[in-house]
Structure 1
Amino acid sequence: MDFWHALTHDAPMFVWPVKFGVAMTAATYVLSILTNNVSQVDRVWTFLPTIYTIYYAFLPLWPSVPPTYLFPYTPDAIPANLRETFSPRTLLMASLVVTWMFRLSYNTWRRGLFSLTDEDYRWAVLRQKMSPFLFQVFNLFFIAIAQNIILFLLGLPAARAAAQPHTPLSTSDHILGTLGFLVILTEFVSDNQQYSFQTFKHSGKLNSNEWPGARIQWTKHDAERGFVTRGLWAWSRHPNFLCEQSFWIIITLIPLLSPDSPKLDFPPTSLASLTPLLPCLVLCSLFFSSTIFTESISKAKYPVAYSAYQERVAMFLPVLTPVWGALLGIQGRKGSVDSMVYGDGPNSKGKGKAE
């Protein structure tokens, strides 16, 4: 009760988002138990940051009293200027996040991940490595609770922007907004290249109707290798993850770099001074740890070829890939590694053979 009293009186902007987040946490956890499928949070990942962002962007639209349970509302305790006028900066952020949502929803839909029976392959691998009891503890505290907290945090930049003076967009808004849309476009291309490759790998046929940027002439050797190494994936092992992290860094920075934002301590003088960066810092930490786990699975399937890929191509930053190539050249190994990664060189045997 003390927490709720403090939330209602000291931070009324967060009353409805917290209620909604708690409800979503409970719903996704219960569904994961009933369906024996822990990907329920994955299915709402594409929508929840958008819902939180839109809530803050459209505060003047919501009623002061909710007509039904969990319907968004704007408490009277919220300052009048936030309830009566729209923030151009928050509307910009909402347009970016909605565009992000459509991209991710489309990619999730075509991969079949909206089906209640489909589960992310990584959870199946992790389930095999843990006892049933420990996996359910992990399901409750990390998959259900922690991930819903992260999704709630991704809406906080919009809340910060909404709380700022509702002034016209500044130069930083235009620059970051443009970068945000470009990052979404780049991630869309990387998604399409991965989907095109996986389609070819499993069907053995090229699709002439691929999206621009994904019309790559895949070969038999690409399929045998088992994982994509062409297009954007020739420069970054995870261009989609790089773009995802970059997007939320941009969203976090939009209100922080605006002329209406209090100046940040730089360099940070304490952990508290990093609080405004919490949404992107937490997300990047999640993606880094998730990428390590994902690569361990890939390396187990393709031990020789994927090890070569890790040596040749940077995990995230494309600018490092030429550096890795130069280092391999000094060692006299660049030709053989390039052959395995990009060409038709020897692939791994046994486990490394494409399935």
Structure 2
Amino acid sequence: MDPLHAAFFACLGAASLCWLLGAATREYSWVDRVWSILPPAYVAWFAAQAPACDARLTVMTILAALWGARLTFNFARKGGYAPGGEDYRWVELRRRLPPPLFAVFALVFIAFIQNGLLLLLALPAYVAASPTAAPWGALDTLATLVFLMLLAGETIADQQQWRFHEAKRARGSAYGPKFLTQGLFRYSRHPNFFCEVSMWWTFYAFAVASGAGLVNVAIVGPVLLTLLFHGSTKFTEQLTRTKYPNYADYQRTTSRLVPWFPRR
């Protein structure tokens, strides 16, 4: 069986399991719980099926594993794997949508589309595993360095956010700022989102470096991820602005995703 076909069936199984667990528990963050686990597994699978040991695929596997380990740690410390650790956005959508409509949304988007995206993010490794792939080159080196820089940036942003929310929880209503505007968040309202999306565009560069062309099938993953984060960020900010009206001032002065100097 072609490695992609096997991965596709694994993806269908994961999506079905996430949907069944969501329906059984009435908690819909099961895809979130495998989000950091499945892409590295798919990448490792594609690399293992390559006809010979390959430097590009080895590096891609290591980078995907580093990404997954960091994200898993950050998700776990926020209680994402604990009972009741459901994403608050799913809770809000469940409140807004009629039950039949949310049931369709949970099946189609939360379970199947998002699991499909996790497979698509690993597709550059499948493309790079081609027997006719070009040898390691300058673009591979550049992609590796940029990926590591973005990984460091996301780690710093998440740590800054973690410290802020820990201080906020410790002091309760006595804590002054209600949302983070310092550190990397002074230059972007969502620097961690920016790094996350950019990392997968950088990962796509390995497919280009393998000789598949500037635009190839592996581009679907980062394109869809960009669209997903665009919609997710918009919804997240709507909720934040409802809770904190002065968030509008932060929106006016600070870039949404791409880090830039604050406006006055």
**TM above 0.5, one fold?**
yes
Looking at structure 2, the residues matched to 113 and 288 of structure 1 have their Cα atoms a distance apart, in angstroms, of: 22
- Structure 1 residue 133: Cα displacement: 1.1
**What's the CA shift string for 1:39-62, capped at 9, x where partnerless?**
011000010101100101112xxx
Matched, 1:39 2:29: yes
Q: Which residue of 2 aligns with 1:291?
A: 233
Aligned pairs (5 A) from 1:190-201: 190-201=157-168
**2:47 is the alignment partner of 1:57:** yes
**Gapped runs of 5+ residues in structure 2?**
none
- Give the Cα–Cα distance (whole angstroms) in 1 for the partners of residues 220 and 116 of structure 2: 12
Indicate the SS of the match to 2:111.
helix
- CA deviation vs aligned residue, 1:207-253 (integer Å, no higher than 9, x gap): xxxxxxxxxxxxx6xx3331100000011000000000010000011
1:174 is matched with which residue?
A: 141
- The percentage of counterpart residues that share the same residue type is 33
Shift of 1:279: 1.0
Q: Does 1:143 align with 2:110?
A: yes
Is residue 2:12 matched to residue 1:22?
yes
Question: Which letter maps to 1:31?
Answer: L
Deviation at residue 106 of structure 1 after TM alignment: 0.6
Q: Write the letter of the residue equivalent to 1:283.
A: L
Question: Which one of the candidate residues 219, 243, 257 is aligned to 1:277?
Answer: 219
TM-score with structure 1 setting the length:
0.71
* Contact kept? 2:127, 2:212, Cα under 8 Å: no
Report if the CA contact (8 A) 1:88-1:166 is conserved: no
Shift of 1:13: 2.3
Note if 1:261 corresponds to 2:232: no
| 8 Å Cα contact 1:236-1:314 kept in structure 2 | yes
Map of 1:1-355 to 2, 5 A cutoff?
A: 8=1, 12-59=2-49, 82-83=50-51, 85-165=52-132, 168-204=135-171, 223-256=175-208, 258=209, 260-264=210-214, 275-303=217-245, 305-319=246-260, 321-322=261-262, 325=263, 334=264
- State the aligned residue count: 263
Aligned partners of 1:262, 1:291: CA distance in 2, in Å?
32
Aligned-pair distance for 1:17? 0.3
Given the superposition, is the C-alpha separation of residues 131 and 232 from structure 1 closer, same or farther in structure 2, using an over 3 Å criterion? same
Normalized per residue, the structure richer in helix is 2
Offset at residue 164 of structure 1 (A): 4.8
Q: Distance in 1 between matches of 2:86 and 2:132?
A: 44
Matched to 2:117, the amino acid is I
Aligned alpha-carbon RMSD (Å): 1.6
Counterpart CA distance in 2 for 1:228 and 1:263 is 41
Per the TM alignment, residue 123 of structure 1 is displaced from its structure 2 partner at its CA by 0.7
Residue 104 (structure 1) shift: 0.2
Bigger relative contact order, structure 1 or 2, given CA contacts below 8 A and separation 6+? 2
Higher Cα radius of gyration: 1
Structure 1: gaps (5+ residues): 1-7, 60-81, 206-219, 265-272, 326-333, 335-355
Give the distance between the partners of 1:308 and 1:164, measured in 2 at CA: 54
The 8 Å contact of residues 54 and 94 in structure 1, kept in 2 or not, is answered as: yes
- How many angstroms does 1:121 deviate by? 0.6
Q: What is the letter of the counterpart of residue 49 of structure 1?
A: P
The 8 Å contact of residues 164 and 261 in structure 1, kept in 2 or not, is answered as no
Check whether the contact 1:24–1:148 (CA below 8 A) recurs between aligned residues: yes
Q: CA deviation at 1:274?
A: 6.2
Shift, 1:15, TM fit: 2.0
The alpha-carbon distance between structure 1 residues 159 and 297, as it changes in their structure 2 partners (threshold 3 A), is: same
> CA separation in 1, counterparts of 2:133 and 2:219?
21
Amino acid at match of 2:155: F
Distance change (3 Å), C-alpha of 1:297 and 1:29 = same
Asked whether the equivalents of residues 48 and 151 of structure 1 are also in contact (C-alpha less than 8 Å), the reply is yes
Q: Is the 8 A contact 1:86 1:166 kept in 2?
A: no
What is the alpha-carbon distance in structure 1 between the residues aligned to residue 197 and residue 22 of structure 2?
A: 27
Q: 2:216 & 2:234 partners in 1: Cα distance?
A: 25
Aligned AA for 1:53? V
Deviation at 1:296, TM superposition (A): 0.3
**What are the Cα deviations for residues 151-174 of structure 1, in whole angstroms up to 9, with x where unaligned?**
110110100011153654211111
